[in-house]
């Protein structure tokens, strides 16, 4: 049996190597390493894939969040509400820009930001809400957009883990994750559902003026060379990365469907297991399973993880520590027990291997060993 990986980028490359090698070679031959034609081609292709939205590429998903907040002119002291259960980037840029970070609890079933918690956290100083579409499934965007409209707030969707996810409105219309709020951001980090071979990111917005401002900020605040209208940053998608993404975007839906089939297998295998909660499938979102994250409710999560490691089955804890209790964020003044839902999730969650190339033999090995351990007294 092939070695099981959380994400197997080597096997994916082996299947696409001819196309990818050609794409990289042609960029090197042209030597247009920055702002080469492949970047624009990729932005247009992604735009077509996402629907009615402008796409601006940038250096990575963390920069995308920062550029979004800069483009919306958020100022020190402005309050930004986001979830306490996410990757650090989301809160990092808020802190970095001197904005006031307001953390709220996730919904324990979907792991996504709780709209009720957001509503309770709104004050007269709130300027923006940052929902994160965690693990590949959308947060409840209609509720969040309603709260935003009521209070005149911006919504920045962190769609780094949800490239290709559909949000399904109550009326049944579908929109891609990241295209609903004021601005959507994403990451092309290698292990994301649409990943390049280094760092990369993008922003989406339906507002053409805002798109132009975002494009300028990502490139030193310039529209015309050496004329700086905004304070900007240096955050560009390298041409080689865009060329790789042009190949991989063609296969994104296929890859996401394969992930979904893996998730169906896990769901079924674990259906009768009392000490394990499989991921909720929301009625208002598709799920592209950036991660397949279960909750181990009998207190043996860490022991299970060790047991699996002994059987050559990797697993990961996304995310182990509530953000409000990380050393860098103690200045916020939260108490450890301020977020019981987040803390409980941090003790219970376990992400299992998830990628499009998992083989049946590997899946059986994972499921048998998870169940063998949990069914033991
Ligand atoms: C990966 C990720 C980011 C950051 O993306 P980078 O490209 O690594 O900077 C931001 N938010 C979430 C939720 C992520 O998973």
The CATH number covering residue 273 comes to: 3.90.1150.10
Those residues with Cβ within 8 angstroms of residue 94's Cβ, 6 or more apart along the chain or in another chain:
69, 80, 82, 100, 101, 130
Last residue of a domain, one of 198, 223, 249: 249
The CATH number covering residue 25 comes to: 3.40.640.10
The whole-number pLDDT of residue 256 equals 98
Number of domains present in the structure of the chain: 2
Q: How many CB atoms lie within 10 A of CB 34?
A: 10
Claim to verify: residue 268 and residue 230 sit in the same structural domain? no
* CB-CB contact of 193 with 136 (8 Å): yes
Claim to verify: residue 302 and residue 285 sit in the same structural domain? yes
The whole-number pLDDT of residue 377 equals 65
The whole-number pLDDT of residue 224 equals 85
| Tens digits of residue pLDDT in 79-137 | 999 999 999 998 999 999 999 999 999 999 999 999 999 999 999 999 999 999 999 99
Name the residue of 158, 235, 237 whose CB sits within 8 Å of the most ligand 1 atoms, as the mutation to test its pocket: 158
For residue 87, report the distance from its CA to the centre of ligand 1, in Å. 7
The whole-number pLDDT of residue 336 equals 85
- The reply to whether ligand 1 has any atom less than 6 angstroms from the CB of 87 is yes
Claim to verify: residue 81 and residue 149 sit in the same structural domain? yes
Instruction: Identify the band that residue 160 occupies on the pLDDT scale cut at 50, 70 and 90.
Output: very high
Last residue of a domain, one of 204, 232, 249: 249
- The reply to whether ligand 1 has any atom less than 6 angstroms from the CB of 78 is no
Claim to verify: residue 177 and residue 289 sit in the same structural domain? no
Taking CA atoms, 58 is separated from 34, 46, 52, 205, 290, in Å, by 11, 13, 19, 14, 21
In this structure, is residue 175 part of a structural domain? yes
Claim to verify: residue 51 and residue 164 sit in the same structural domain? yes
In this structure, is residue 140 part of a structural domain? yes
Claim to verify: residue 368 and residue 233 sit in the same structural domain? no
In this structure, is residue 2 part of a structural domain? no
In this structure, is residue 3 part of a structural domain? no
Claim to verify: residue 170 and residue 257 sit in the same structural domain? no
Instruction: Identify the band that residue 323 occupies on the pLDDT scale cut at 50, 70 and 90.
Output: confident
- The reply to whether ligand 1 has any atom less than 6 angstroms from the CB of 114 is no
The whole-number pLDDT of residue 27 equals 98
pTM score above 0.95: yes
Question: For 158-173, what is the mean pLDDT?
Answer: 97
Question: For 334-347, what is the mean pLDDT?
Answer: 94
* CB-CB contact of 72 with 154 (8 Å): yes
| Tens digits of residue pLDDT in 204-263 | 999 999 999 999 999 999 988 888 888 999 999 999 999 999 999 999 999 999 999 999
* CB-CB contact of 145 with 118 (8 Å): no
Identify the residue whose C-alpha is closest to ligand 1 atom 2.
160
In this structure, is residue 4 part of a structural domain? no
The whole-number pLDDT of residue 249 equals 98
Claim to verify: residue 326 and residue 242 sit in the same structural domain? no
In this structure, is residue 47 part of a structural domain? yes
Assess whether pLDDT exceeds 80 at residue 311: yes
- The reply to whether ligand 1 has any atom less than 6 angstroms from the CB of 189 is yes
Last residue of a domain, one of 197, 230, 249: 249
| Tens digits of residue pLDDT in 35-91 | 999 999 999 999 999 999 999 999 999 999 999 999 999 999 999 999 999 999 989
Q: CA-to-CA distance for 346 and 106, rounded, in angstroms?
A: 11
Question: For 10-19, what is the mean pLDDT?
Answer: 98
Question: For 14-19, what is the mean pLDDT?
Answer: 98
Range of the domain at 270: 252-374
In this structure, is residue 162 part of a structural domain? yes
- The reply to whether ligand 1 has any atom less than 6 angstroms from the CB of 66 is no
Claim to verify: residue 117 and residue 232 sit in the same structural domain? yes
For residue 353, report the distance from its CA to the centre of ligand 1, in Å. 19
């Amino acid at each position: 049996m092939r070695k099981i990986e959380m994400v197997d980028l080597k096997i994916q490359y082996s299947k696409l190597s001819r196309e990818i090698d050609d794409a990289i070679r042609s960029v090197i031959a042209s030597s247009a390493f920055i702002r080469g034609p492949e970047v624009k081609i990729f932005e247009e292709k992604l735009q077509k894939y996402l629907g009615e939205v402008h796409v601006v590429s940038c250096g990575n998903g963390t920069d995308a969040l920062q550029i979004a907040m800069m483009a919306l002119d958020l100022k020190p002291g402005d309050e930004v509400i986001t979830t306490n259960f996410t990757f650090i980037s989301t809160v990092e840029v808020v802190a970095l820009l001197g904005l006031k970070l307001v953390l709220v609890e996730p919904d324990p079933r979907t792991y996504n930001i709780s709209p009720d918690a957001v509503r309770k956290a709104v004050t007269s100083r709130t300027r923006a809400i940052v929902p994160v579409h965690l693990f590949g499934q959308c947060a409840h965007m209609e509720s969040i957009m309603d709260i935003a409209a009521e209070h005149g707030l911006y919504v920045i969707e962190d769609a780094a883990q949800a490239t290709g996810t559909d949000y399904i409105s109550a009326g049944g219309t579908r929109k891609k994750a990241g295209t609903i709020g004021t601005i959507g951001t994403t990451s092309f980090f290698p292990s994301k559902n649409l990943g390049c071979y280094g760092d990369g990111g993008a922003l989406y917005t339906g507002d053409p003026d805002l798109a132009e401002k975002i494009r300028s900020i990502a490139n030193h605040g310039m529209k015309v060379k050496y004329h700086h209208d905004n304070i900007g940053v240096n955050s560009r998608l390298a041409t080689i990365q865009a060329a790789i993404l042009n190949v991989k975007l063609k296969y994104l839906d296929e890859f996401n469907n394969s992930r979904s089939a893996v998730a169906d297998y896990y769901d079924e295998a674990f259906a009768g297991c009392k000490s394990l909660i499989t991921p909720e499938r929301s009625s208002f979102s598709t799920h592209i399973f950036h991660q397949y994250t279960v909750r181990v409710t009998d207190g043996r999560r860490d022991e299970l993880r060790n047991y699996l490691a002994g059987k050559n089955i990797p697993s990961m804890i996304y995310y182990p520590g509530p953000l409000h209790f990380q050393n860098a964020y103690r200045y916020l003044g939260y108490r450890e027990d301020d977020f019981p839902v987040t803390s409980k999730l941090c003790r219970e969650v376990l992400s299992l291997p998830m990628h499009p190339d998992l083989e049946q033999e590997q899946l059986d090995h994972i499921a048998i060993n998870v169940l063998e351990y949990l069914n033991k007294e």
